[in-house]
Every structure is written in structure tokens, then in C-alpha cells.
Structure 1
Amino acid sequence: MQQRDLSNSIDLCKMKEVNLSGGNLTMNLIFGLVLVFIFIFTPFSRGLFFETEFYIIHIFIFILFCIWSARSIVTKNTPSVKYFLVFLIPLSFLLSIFVAESPQGAIDNFLRWMNYACFFIILVSLLDNERYRHMLPYIFSGMGVLLAIFALLAYYKLVDYRDAVLIDHLGNQRFTSVFQYGNTYAAVIGSFWLFNLSKLTDRENKVWQVIFFSFPLALFALNLMHTYSRGALLVFASVWMITLLCMPLSRQISFVFHSFLSTFGGLVLFRGLSIYSPITTLILMILFIILSSVFGILYMRYGWKLQKLDKWRLSRFYFMGVAVILAVLLFLDMKNEGFVYKQLPVSFQERVKDISLETYSVQGRSLFMDDALKISSENPILGVGGEGWRILFTHVQEVPYWSNETHNGYLEILLSTGWLGMSLFVGVFGYLFFQLIVQLRSSSKQESTLVVGTLSALLMLFLHSAIDFNFSYGTVWFVIMVLFAMGITTKNKKEKIEKTILIRSVLSLLTLAVAISGVYSLRMYSAENTFSSIQKGQVTESKVKALIDKNPYSVRYQEIAIDVYLQLYQQTKKASYMELAKGSLNRMIELEPRNARVMFNAGIFHYKLGDFEQATIYFDKVLEYDHFNTGYYENIIKMKNDMMQNTYQLDKEKAEIYANSLTNDFKLLNEWHERMKAYSFEINERNFHIPVGARVPVAQTKFFFKHFEEVIPLLQGVEGGDPNLMTQAQAMLAVSYMMIGEKEKSKKVYENMMKQVPNFKEYYNSYLELAKS
């Protein structure tokens, strides 16, 4: 009887295990499908560069993580605790919020990194399953194919996607695909190319696997070349050589041959893209697919005969030596426009010619680095928060370049999180790279090709990010997380968390943090939807209040609130609306007190209220924070001139203060203009110049205070601009000549203007009366 009961109990336990296992499989399938969907389809939201398109992804992944975490606690299985180290990076972004120049930017960056960490942890846990590990390389490569085909379709105008192909300053059509930026797309597509090349060195591939990894090679090569990204090509060549050293000679033969064939195919397709029809291009692509597949199958069948070459001394370095020699010869050929250079398409030759240390591409990045380090020195420990560069680069720049990005992913991390965050970033990813190397040394031959592929793809992305802002794209980080998960989980082990209270506690705290992050993401997503409806003209007081309640950290939203409350005040004259407007203004200033645009808007607000003293304080800060903005100088000088004229009759002392203030602004404008001209190279992306609209108000101020000798040099040669302003300028010039006794010059200006402007006499008499008063 007891034996029967025991037997029944055992059977019941087995049934529960089977049911639990079936439930786990179902949940894993759901998790896997959601992650695959996010990985493959979210890149088409502009590479997840903009926060407005990322909030909904945050919500999905945070919900997914909470469900996964609850299931992990119940089933008592979790990935190794070492993988949870990735959450140290969002922690550093969280700390930076307290010192951030832009709280909104810091919060957005924190949410992004919580998102990446959650995605990574869930993926690592799924890859405990051998079936998912086996499928992931094909999903990964398939995404690369989608991006490459999409760029080609955009080139032929078969899909409508803004800036998927951009025209550069040389007239080249640069592929940017979903990223709308050629250099980042080049780094991403280069990583897919390297991954596939590495996978083809596996002699245990089946025929269909050889065909699968072979067919996009020429397509990847074409896309990389058509980005015209010189930096990406140089990084690709460097990583290619490193990858070569990670393989024995027998595998290097496959790697080199497929590299040569796909490069040749890419060049042929590159040349033919603008000549041949899409059908002919497709036929050429199929031809290269066949050639690459045939070689891959031959290598698969007979590659084992090459294994004896691996025993040769230093055999791993043979191809490397040849590659270095060829690289030197190629460099000399390009420099001297030799045989190989002449075989390149003309558009590519122009890009090669354009390579120089004197180009803006190189000099600009050098300037960004210098200025980023200046900013970093202000708060070296915790940084200045996400988006800090956007606000502060105008404070320190010595040249009028314009860039909302540092063009260096590591500088961006340093600025956002300080040396503390940078240390954690290097430590975490350094550890993950170390894990990859451990896997490479200990994995089987078949697994080693996967690890080499992930390592080479990661190096492509990480090295190129030192010269561009790839890290600003959410898609790039999803690619990176997939690569790490794929490379380090070939021998992953589960840990029983019921035995470790610490791990369970950590997981519970993380779940709480993720849940709170999800609530913030939901509020910001909802606020963005409200903002969109307001932009469409659906403006109501209740919507504005809801907008601010959902997300009180956005300067954009505070600006909207100020405009709406001022409009309501003008319509109703209710003092409460003015108080609400002032409250939003103060909140905006508190959020980003060193943002030049915020200070400018604050100055205009007080100027319109007639609070000239406070307006002047804010306007002075504007020019302190952004000394290369021509528009700011022009508008501020005009408004200070207006302040001077409005107070001249009532309080000449105050009027003189405003006059001196705008004169100092004009001096500052001239000083920075002279400093800009003193540079040995010309970078003026901001079109910084001394505008007529600033010179005339300064001249008016001088005229008011009877400094006629100073008026004349300001107005000589003034032309263009607003006709009324020009007429006033010439009237002041004619009167100034008259007042200093230069009557002939005054007469000449007067007669010339009377021919052009019939009522010029009225302007002249008005200024003459003012001069004599």
C-alpha cells in the first residue's frame, strides 16, 4: 500500500514537472517572440535615436522583465549573477540625475540603459535553451539582410523613408538605411559582414547554412561601400586583421577567400548600381551568391584536408604578414593614384582624395574632444547628465561649429556619468569581453566560429564608436547586447536562487526599480501623446496642465505652458494666468539654468512685461552661454536699444546703462568674430557674422547720445537687410555727417537716397530734429 502511494506521489511529481516545463516553454516562447520583434522591427523607428519613439519600447521591455523576474523567483532559476553587473551602468546614469544640466535628458538616458540591461538579462536567460542558442545567429544575420535590402530599396525609391539615402557635399548618394546617418549604418552593416564571414569558416556547416551566410556577403559589402564612410572602412580593415589572428590557418583560407569574393562583388555592384537596371543588379548579386556558396560547400567538404597546415610554425601569422604588406602597398597606391586607385569608381576616388588631417571631419572631432574634456572637468565624478553636451558645448567652444553630439561614444558616457560612470562602463564591458575570450579558449571548434564572429562584430561597433555617436542609437545597443549574449552563453549555467538570499533580494530590488522605471516611461509616453495633440492645434488649459503633471521635467512642455497661459491672460486679463505663466517660467529656469535658449526665452518674457532690468540679466547670460549665435546678438541688441529709447525721456541714467550694455554686447560680437578669423582653418557651421541688424541699433544708441563720430564707421558700407532699417541707417549717416561738419558727404548720401526712397526726407528730418534736441 505504501509502495503504491509512493509510486503515485512520484508520478504526480513527474506530471507537475512536465506541466511546469510545458509552462516554461510557453513563457520562453512568448519572451523570445517579443525580443525578436523588438530586435528586428524597432530599427525602422529611425534606429531608436529619438526618445519619442523609444518610450513605448521601454514599457514593453519593463513589463516583460517584471514577468520574467516573477517567474524566475517561482521557478528558482536565473542567469549567473555576474550578468547582473550590467545594471551598474544604469545606476551611474541614475546618480547623474542629481547633478544633471538637463533632468529630462538624464532621465531619458537612465531609462534607456535600464532597457538595455533588462533586454540583455532576459535574452541571456532564454539562451540557456540550446534551441534558442542555435536560432539566434540566423535571426541576427537576418536582421542585417533586412537593413541592407531596405537601403537598396530606398536607393531605387521603392520605399519611402526619409533620408534613407543622403546626398553628401560631393554629390554622392550615401546609404544610411534606417539610421539616417551613414557612418553609424556603416559600422552596423560592417559588423554583420564580419559576423557572416566568421560563421562561414565553420567546416561543420550544412549546405543550407553555407548558402544562408553566403548570400548576403556581397550585399553587405555594397552597403558598406555605399555609405562612403572612410572611418568605418579603416576600422573594418583593422578588425578584419584582428579577426584573422583569432583563427587557425585552415580557417583563415575560407575567411580570406570569402572576404575577397564579397569585396570584389561589392565593387562590381557598386559600379553597376548607377549603370545597370535593378534586374541586372539582382542577377549579378545571385551570381556572387552562387560563387560564394560553391566555395563554402567545397570548403565544408574538403576543408578538413587543410587542417595539417595548422601545425606549421607561426601559421596563424602567414596571412597577417601578407595582409600588412598588401595594406602598405594599397596605401601607397592610393596616395599616388596608382593602378588600384584608378579601378575605383570616380565617386570613391573623390572620397579617397578628400582624406586629410585638415578636413573638418578630423579637425571637428578634435575640437569636440577638447571641449568635452573642458566640460567634464566641471563635474568629473558624476558628470553633467544625459544631454549635458547639447547644453554646454556652446559655453566652451572657441570655433562656431554645430553638433548636438560629441561624435565619440566614450566621451558621451564620460560627460553623462563622469569618471565614476566611465569606470563602471569600462569595467562591465571589459568583463564581458573577457568572458568572450574565455569562451573562445574553452569552446569547441564549432562554437569558436560563433564566438569569433561575435567578437569581431563587437570590435567593429566599439572601435568605430570612438569616432562617432553610434552609442546614441538604441538599435546599436540591442545589436551589441545580442552579440554579447550570443557569444558568452555557449556554456551558460543556471543558478538556484532559493539557496542565495542575496540573489533573490537583488532580483526583487531590480524588479521594483524596473517597475518604477516603467511607470515613468508610461507617463512620458502619455505626455508625448498629449504634446502631439497640442501641436495639432488641440490646445486647452486642461491638456496643458495634464502635460506638465505627466512630465514636469521637459523644458519643451514648460515653453508650451507659458505660451498658452499668456494667451489666456491676454484673452481674459485674469491675474491667475499670469501667475501660472510665471510659475512655468521659473520651473523652466530651474530645470536648465545654463541653457542659452531658456535664458533667451526668460529674457523675452520679462522684456514683454516691461521688466527691463530682469530681462537684461537674462540676456547677458544668453551671450555668456552662447557667444557664437548671431541671432541672439541681433535680437538682444535690438531689444536693449528699444529699452534705452523707452527709458531715455524718463530716466537718462537707466537709458545710459542699457546703452552701455548693448555697446558691450556689440564689442563681444566683434571680439569673437576676430578670434574666429584668427584660426588657421575655417569652421563656421553656425554662419557666425556681424549682422546689419546689430550694427544699426548700436548706431542708433550712439546717435541718441550725440556720439556722431562713432555712428559713421558703424553705418559706412551697410547694405542689405530690412529696407526700413536701411533707410534709417542712411538717414542717421547723413545727419551724422552734417553734425560733424562734413556737409558734402551728408549731401551726397541725402541726394542718393532721395532717388531711391521718395519719403527719405521725412526720415532725415526726424533724425535731424533728434540730433539738435
Structure 2
Amino acid sequence: MSNPVYGKQAKRSSNVDKKPALLLVLIVAIIAYLVWTPFQVALFNGQNLEFEKPLFWAIALGSVLLFLWIANYYKSFKLDEQRDWLPLAVLLLPITYLLSYFGAASHYLAMNMVLIECLYAIMFIISIYLLQDQRANKIIQTTIMTVAYIIVWFGFLNWFGHGKFAGTLVVWFSNAVLHGKYTDAVMTDSNGLRLTSVFQYANTYAAFLMAFLFAAVFCLIRSKKWYGQAFHAFMLVPIIVSILLTLSRGGLVMLPVVFVLLLLFLKPAKQILWVVYCAIAGIASLAISKEVTDLGLQLNQKFEAGGAVKGWAFLLITSAVVAIIGWVVQAFLAPKMEQGLAKASAKKHANLWIPVGSVIAVGVVAFLLIGTSVRNVLPQNISTRLENINFNQHSVLERITFYKDGMKVVKDYPLLGAGGGAWAALYEKYQNNPYTSRQAHNFFVQYLLEVGIVGFVIFMAFVLFIFYKYIRGYIQSDAERKDSYFLYLILTLSILIHSILDFNMSYVFIGMLVFIGLGGMAAAMDSKPLKRVAWKTDSAGWIYSLAVGICGIIVLITSVRFVHASNAGLEAKKIAQTSTSYEEIKTALDKDLKIRHNHPDSVLLMSSLYQSVYKQTQNDDFYNAANSLLTDALKKEPYNKSMINRLITNYQLKNENDKAYEILVANAPKFNWDIEWYEQMITQGFELGYTALGQGDTAAKEKYFKSGIAAFEKVQAGLKHLATLPKEQMAGRPFSNSPIMILDTGKMYYMMNQLDKATETLKMGVTQDFSDPTNRETTRWYIAALMKQGSNDQAVYDQLVKADPSEKESIEKLVQINF
């Protein structure tokens, strides 16, 4: 039974036909855009000058696409049914980010995120209208699948050692090519080499592959032409092998979850076909995984043409065999299967049996691959990753920690959030242990802390409403209509489900796919007509187009200005690498800072320039200029550690060490697990206190010594906390007592006549290496503290004096001093 809503939808499509030229231009522009973006738009991870320029270009081009949409669709916008309000509702998403901008932890990151959300809104608005036209819908789906397949083959070019060739293919429009190769298309971490293709991060590539594995199976079954069936079947093995090569545990865990959820939308015959195709391709992929993995590992160390040919042969021949099997099954067995299961499909809950069986089958396979020696048929690196899948594994424990720490941010910024990029700016303040992660590894947690409860509720209501209405429309529509838009559900559901475990949505290209997917789902949703509202809606198209067009102009102008600013910043950075000319560097930086007053990279470079000139000339104008620049920038970027350190350095250049120390202490709570920060507080606290002691300023001595000791005690509390972490969880960055911290803290206790604490602290730093000057000094103060209390550590004393006889006199003098 067809949905009555679709009659109105078809009528609206006739508005498109009146402007075929504009429609064609819009479609061609979107195709070019979708091909360009994955190689250009990198991870939004607190971008610096090298990565932000393509982001701003993408946003500017997105605005141009919006203007093309307005030219073609301004008359089509109505307020007659539920779907018509979604282009209005999507504007609330960038608005919530704009509201969070005013109280953002980083105004620079927050503004970038406002622009990115504008881009997502643009892609949704275009998609919800464009994809109602069936011709445009088919073209866009074909483009999306083509781009995905290109990305898969691009990954294999790099895996089989053809990195230089792959680089030449994209160097003319990608800034990620360095020394002739696409950066980190094959990345290296503690697990070894991992395939990432254009994403430079294996887990997100796994999420992408998971989505397009199911998309390929869907396209294979849907295709009416033999070559379409064979081609999509051919791609199954490369996609599954790529998933294995990412070594992504999250991808392997979420893949069966999404698979079962998608099966629930299908009739039994198609469910069986999905299972059959995935099983055939999966078995074939496992059969060649060891050879493809080993060859790739070798070829990335040293390229050999013979090895590359062998690798391609394994992959292509196996893919061809699966393609032939897929075509045979689809051409001869699938029609008979659908006929034979027609009666069974009509029964109530018929579509539940195979998903339930799939859950059991997945459980059995998971047990065999994770809990038994069956996994040894896989390559060693993949087998090891599977063996480590458990809830006590360090990456699981770390993610749980991220989520808990994210909730701490939400507690402090509950309503409107801490702004775009808040996690990257704030995580060091809220972290439970000294990990390094500029992403929360959960899109929903990250979204919540960025825009607060208000923005999160709006976003979830928007997404869930589209899912709900799409599913209702899917149930009521005929088979052809279901197939027309099911691809968008596959992509959106797959990526969002996987984003529970990772930061896929921090990739702008991935975010665009999701919002195009939401637009496609909205185009097919069960959209009920609304009762005629009190106000007249005939002019709604003009009003909406005008409002959105004005916003688009603002976004376009802003993004183009930011492109120019980025160019200036990059030019300054390039000049600074080859020239010492103050005027040349400053002229370029002024162009950037005139547009973006608080851009971190340019602020740091400009302040460094001022400081360099000040050191040469001792002209206070340059010192004051650096101080003013950094102070103003920190009002907008209060958590930028590099700028805070640069301000501290600026005070130290003028020997204003007391002011430098005040900045150090005031900002310590922002970096609770930075051991270097604590070390500076302790050593500088001692030096300033000792200077004050020499000047007879007892109050200042007490102030600085207490501050330094407080820092040391916080380190000890931190060490006790780290000891409580599960043994499987990695603590993160090094966090431990350094010899100089122990020595200076011991001295401060000693000079404050807290001899018992001095003894306890200094003993921590005593070692057997008396050739080390720091150890000898620590031991000297340790023995002196004991002697002051009428005690001694004779064995240590004898070793010290034996190593350096002069230490005996030094200890005696130290004991006689009264502080």
C-alpha cells in the first residue's frame, strides 16, 4: 500500500521540472563537492593553520550550494505538512552552537563549530528537497556509493605500497599530501600498521566501511542490471578486508549490532540474502586476510613490485569470484526465494526470526573468534586485537573515564554548554588521570557538553523525530519506495551507532554524510498534512529563502574572510621558517589577527616575534605589545596552555618572576595532571621563597614556600589516586615525582622548620647513585634534617661521605644554619 503523502510529494517535484538547468547545475555541484570533501576536510580537532583552510573553503562552497538551492526551490517551500517544518527546525542546531559560543571555553574552536553546524544545516536543507526528486535521488546515491568505493581503493593503493602514486592522484586538490604521500593513509600506533585511507584514523574508517558494507549489500540486492549486481558484489571483499586491516575493535563490535538492526527493516527473503552475501564475502575475506595483511606490512616497510602484484591478485581474484557468486545468486536464486517465502513473509513478526537467529549466530562466531584458538586462522595483529576485546580492556576503561569526565563538564555548563570544541579545551581540567585525548570518543557526550542540555534535547528531538517518521513511512510504503531511500537509513544509523564509541562525527565529511542521510530520510518520511494555520503561508517560501539567504551570505563572507586569514597565517609561518625579517612576518600576521584577534597559532607566533625583538633591543614597547596581545587573547582562550606559558615567559624575560609565578599558580587547576606544571610551581616557588628569605621578607617566604609545598602535596595525592585505577587501565602521560621536585620541596620543609616532613620527603629522593649531584644534595639535606632532630641514617651518611669527603663539612654547616 502506498503512502498518500507521496502524491503531494510528486506534485511538488513538478516545481523542479520548471528549472531543469538550475537543477542540473545544483546536482553537478553537489557531485563535485562530495568527491572533493573527503580528501580535503580533515578532522575538526582544534584545527591549526594547516588544517583549517580546507574547512573554511568547504563551508564557503556549501554556502554557494545553498544559493543554488534557493534559486531552484524558493517557490517549493510551504508550511502545509510536518516535513515542511524540518528546514526551520534544523536551523536551531547552529543557533544552539551560537548561543554556546558566548560562554565558550575556546571562542576560536566554538566559532569554527558554529560554521560547521551551518554547513550541516545547509546539507540537510538541500537534501530534504533535492532528494524528493527521484532522478536527483538516484544520481546522489550513485555518487555517494562511487565516492565510498574510491576511498576504499585509495586505501588499498596505500596498503600495497603505492603511496606515491596515490598521492599524485589527489595532490592537486588535497593538502594532506606530504613528501608525495597522503599523510597517515596507513597509520602506525602501538598495534602496528592500521589502514585509514583518507581519514587518518582507523576507527572512523572502520565506521565508514561498516556503513558502506551494508550499503553495498543493499545496492547489490536492489540492482536490476547484472553488471550492477556484479559490481556491488565485487566490492564486498575489499570493504570487509579493509575493516580487518583497520584493527578496529569498535568496528567489529558494532558491525553485528547495526547488521541486526537493519535486518529488522527487511522481509525474510531479503534478510536471507543479506546473511548469505555477508557470509560469502566474510569467508572469502578471511581466507585471504593473512596474505593481504602480511604483504601490506612488508610493502609498507620496503616496496617490491612482485609483492604488490601478489597482493592485488589475492584481492582482485577473490573479489571477482564473490562477484560471480553474487550475480548468480541474485539472478537465479533470489527470485525463487522471494516467491517461496511470500506466504511466510506475510505472517506477523516474520521479520523477527532471522534477526534473532543472527544474534545467536553472531554470539557463536564471537565466542569462537574471541574465546577460542579459532582466531589463530587470522593474521597475528588481527588475532591479538580480537583477543583483547573485553570490558576490562584499557580502551574500554579509558572511554568510560572520558564519559564520566565529560559529565563533569556538563555539571559546570549545564544549560548552554561550554561551546564547540569544549572537550579539547577543557579535558585537562576535568580528567580523572593524565590521559591525552582531544576527543571524548562519544559523539553524544561531546555534543551534550558543547551545547548543554538545551541544545542536546533539540538535537535528539530533531533526529528521533526524523527516524520515527521515516520508519512510519517505511512501514506504509511499497517495496519500490522503501528501496528508494533505504540507503540513507543505512548510512545514518550505522555512523550514529558507531559514534557511541568514537568521534566519527568530528570528521566534517562524515557529519555531512549523516545530515544528507537525515535529509534523505526526511524526504521519504510519513509527513502528515497540518491544519491550516492562522497566518497565511503562501509567502513562506520567499520569507524563508530570504532569511536563509541572508544567513548564507553571512556564512559565506565569514568563511571567505577566514580563508584569507588562514592564508596570511600560513604565509607568516612560512616566512618565519626562512627569514628573520620582523616587518615581513608581522605584516602577514597582522592580516590574520585583524580578522581573528585570538587565533592561537598566530597569537603565539606574533608574541614570539615581539619577545625576540625585545631580547635584542630591550625596548619595553615590544615587551608591552607581547603582554597586551597574550592577555587579550587569553580572555577568549583561557585554557590555551601554550599562550599561558608564553605569557609566563614574557614576565620572566623582564625578571618579573613574581608575576610569572602568579600566572603559574592561578592556572594550575586547569591542568591538574601536568607534572611539568607542578614541577615549575615547586622549583619556582622555592627560588622565589629563598630569594625572599635572603631579603628578610618572611611573609613572602612563607607565601611562596606554602604554594610550592601545596603543589607537591597535590602530586602525592594524584599518585595515590592513580594507584587505585584498574590494573588494565593505562594511566596516560608520565606522572611521578622528579628528583628536583623532591629536593626543592624537602628544602622548603626544612627552611620552614617542618623537619619531620623534610626528612620524609627528602628520603624519597635518596638513591645509591652518589655520582649524581642532585642525589648528593638531596642526601645532604636529608642527613641534615635527621641530625637537626637528633637522629641519623648512618649507612647513607657513610656512603655519601665516602663518595665525597667534603660533604661532611657541608652537612655540619647546614645543620648549624637557623632559617
Question: 1:144 and 2:148 equivalent?
Answer: yes
Query: 1:427–1:188: structure 2 CA closer, same or farther, 3 Å change rule?
Result: same
Map 1:522-671 onto structure 2 (within 5 A): 522-538=560-576, 540-595=585-640, 598-653=643-698, 654-671=700-717
Unaligned runs of 5+ in 1: 1-19
Q: Which amino acid in 2 is paired with 1:62?
A: S
Aligned residue number for residue 313 of structure 2: 280
Q: CA deviation at 1:591?
A: 1.1
Q: What is the distance in 1 between the residues matched to 2:724 and 2:518?
A: 48
Structure 2 vs 1, CA of residues 679 and 572 (structure 1 numbering), >3 Å: closer, same or farther? same
Shift of 1:771: 4.2
Q: Please, which of 254, 264, 270 is the counterpart of residue 251 of structure 1?
A: 270
1:30 counterpart = 2:25:
yes
Quote the offset at 1:709 in angstroms. Answer: 6.0
Aligned partner of 2:567: which letter?
Answer: N
Change (3 A) 1:32 1:119: same
| C-alpha spacing 1:229/1:610, structure 2 compared with 1 (3 Å) | same
| Aligned counterpart for 2:430 among listed residues 368, 388, 396 | 396
| Residue in structure 1 matched with residue 116 of structure 2 by the alignment | 112
Deviation at 1:769, TM superposition (A): 11
Q: Conserved in 1, the CA contact under 8 Å of 2:623 and 2:650?
A: no
For 2:64, the equivalent position in structure 1 comes to: 63
CA distance in structure 2 between the aligned counterparts of 1:21 and 1:325, rounded to whole angstroms: 48
Q: Tell whether the 8 Å contact from 1:48 to 1:54 is kept in structure 2 after alignment.
A: no
Report if aligned partners of 2:76, 2:541 keep a CA contact under 8 Å in 1. Answer: no
CA displacement 1:285-314 (0-9 Å, x = unmatched): 222222222222224665553334434564
Partners in 2 of 1:450 and 1:236 — Cα distance? 23
Residue from 182, 186, 190 that aligns with 1:169: 190
Give, in whole Å, the separation in 2 of the partners of 1:419 and 1:49.
22
For 1:676, the equivalent position in structure 2 comes to: 722
Q: Give the drift of 1:694.
A: 1.4
Contact 1:558 1:587 in 2 (8 A): no
SS of the residue 1:174 aligns to? strand
Deviation at residue 763 of structure 1 after TM alignment? 11
> Cα distance 1:544–1:334, how it changes in 2: closer, same or farther (>3 A)?
closer
Instruction: Output aligned runs, 1:255-266, within 5 Å.
Output: 255-266=274-285
Residue type of the alignment partner of 2:679: E
Contact 1:738 1:746 (8 Å CA) reproduced: no
Cα distance in structure 1, aligned partners of 2:542 and 2:258: 40
Rounded to whole Å, the distance in 1 between the matches of 2:812 and 2:594 is 53
**What is the CA–CA distance in structure 1 between the aligned matches of 2:238 and 2:677, rounded to whole Å?**
48
Moved more, 279-288 or 403-412: 279-288
Residues 638 and 108 from structure 1, CA distance in 2 versus in 1: closer, same or farther, beyond 3 angstroms? same
Choose which of 551, 556, 563 in structure 2 pairs with 1:518.
556
The 1:569/1:446 distance shift into structure 2, 3 A limit, reads: same
Mean CA deviation greater in 418-427 or 222-231:
222-231
Q: Is the 8 A contact 1:640 1:662 kept in 2?
A: yes
Structure 1 pair 170–537 and aligned structure 2 pair: CA distance change class (3 A): same
| Alpha-carbon distance in 2 for matches of 1:265, 1:609 | 69
Decide which moves more: 546-555 or 484-493.
484-493
Residues 718, 224 of structure 1: CA spacing in aligned structure 2 closer, same or farther, 3 A cutoff? Answer: same
Could you tell me how far 1:721 is from its partner in structure 2? Answer: 13
Match for residue 421 of structure 1?
455
**Structure 1 counterpart of 2:507, from 468, 473, 487:** 473
**Inter-partner Cα distance in structure 1 for 2:813 and 2:17:** 91
Please list the CA deviations of residues 164-209 of structure 1 after superposition, one character each: whole Å capped at 9, or x if unmatched: 22345344x322222122221111111011112123333x612122
The aligned amino acid for 2:126 is I
The amino acid across from 2:195 in the alignment is F
Aligned: 1:43 with 2:77: no
Cα distance in 1 between the residues matched to 2:140 and 2:809: 78
Distance 1:686 1:374, change over 3 A: same
Residues 666-705 of structure 1: per-residue CA shift (max 9 Å, x gap): 1111121112213343431111111123122223434555
| Distance apart, 1:543 and its partner CA | 2.7
SS of aligned partner of 2:417: coil
What are the within-5 Å matches in structure 2 for residues 486-505 of structure 1?
Answer: 486-489=520-523, 500-505=538-543
Give % identity: 19
1:111 is matched by which residue type in structure 2? L
Aligned residues: 745
Q: 1:342: Cα distance to partner? A: 5.2
Deviation sequence 1:487-545 (CA, Å, 0-9, x none): 4435999x9x9963344223222222222222222222222222222223435333333
For 1:121 and 1:404, the matched residues in 2 are separated by: 30
**Which piece of structure 1 moves more, 113-122 or 707-716?**
707-716
How many Å separate the matches in 2 of 1:21 and 1:125?
A: 9
Q: 2:301 is matched with which residue? A: none
> Which digits, 9 at most, give the CA deviation of each residue in 1:36-95, with x for residues without a partner?
222223212364435413111111112332343255448989994533422211111011
Q: Which one-letter code corresponds to 1:66 in the other structure?
A: F
Could you say which residue in structure 2 is the equivalent of 1:17? none
**Preserved CA contact (<8 Å) 2:268 2:351:** yes
Secondary structure at 2:102 match in 1: helix
Aligned to 2:8: none
Pairwise CA RMSD: 3.4
Name the counterpart of 1:3.
none
Which position in structure 1 is the counterpart of 2:247?
228
Hey, what does 2:746 align to over in structure 1?
Answer: 699
Q: Distance in 2 between matches of 1:71 and 1:588?
A: 43
Structure 1: distance between partners of 2:808 and 2:616: 37
In structure 2, what is the equivalent of residue 132 of structure 1? 136
Residue 327 of structure 1: aligned partner: 362
> What does the per-residue CA deviation read over 1:95-135, in whole Å, with 9 as the maximum and x for residues that have no partner?
11111111111111110010111123224433344322222
Measure the CA separation in 2 of the matches of 1:223 and 1:128: 33
CA contact (8 A) 1:627 1:669 kept: no
Distance in 1 of aligned mates of 2:107 and 2:197: 31
Query: TM-score w.r.t. structure 1 length?
Result: 0.87
Amino acid at match of 1:60: L
The question of 1:217 aligning with 2:236 is answered yes
Q: Deviations over 1:551-576 (max 9, x none)?
A: 01323333333222222333344433
The alpha-carbon deviation at position 345 of structure 1 amounts to 4.2
Question: Following the alignment from structure 2 to structure 1, what is the Cα–Cα distance between the partners of residues 613 and 440?
Answer: 41
How far apart in 2 are the matches of 1:270 and 1:731?
Answer: 62
Q: Contact conserved, 2:112 with 2:420, CA < 8 A, in 1? A: yes
CA contact (8 A) 2:433 2:732 kept: no
| Secondary structure in structure 1 of the residue aligned to 2:155 | helix
366-375 or 274-283: bigger deviation: 274-283
Of 182, 185, 202, which aligns to 2:202? 182
